[in-house]
Amino acid sequence: MATRTSDEEVGDLHEDIAKLKADIASLAKDLRDLGTTAAGTARRAARDKGEQLRDGLDEALEDLSERGAQAMKDARARIEERPLAAVLIALLVGLVLGRLLDRR
């Protein structure tokens, strides 16, 4: 059975420590790369979600605009059908609002 000298053991320990340092450096690099990749993925996901929300908002605004235009067409048609009734209704609404907003 061969016995090892303390110098050999110390030398082996130095080699093991050097390998450990290299492994830790490699692990740190891998973690940085993973963090960079995760940040990029999160950034892309946030951008995609923002685009989806913007598209949804555009669609909702377009729908609202169409509904408003249709409501205006309907109101004009009703006014044209009964102009006297429309004027009387507008007058009554004005009087009611005037009374409500009068603070005497």
Q: Which residues of the chain have pLDDT under 50?
A: 1
CA atoms within 13 A on the CB side of 90: 9
Look at residue 9 in the predicted model and tell me its pLDDT.
85
Cα–Cα dist 7/60, whole Å: 79
Look at residue 1 in the predicted model and tell me its pLDDT.
45
Q: How far is CA 35 from CA 13, 15, 40, 47, 64, in A?
A: 32, 30, 8, 18, 43
pLDDT one-digit tens code per residue, 71-82: 999 989 988 999
Look at residue 11 in the predicted model and tell me its pLDDT.
87
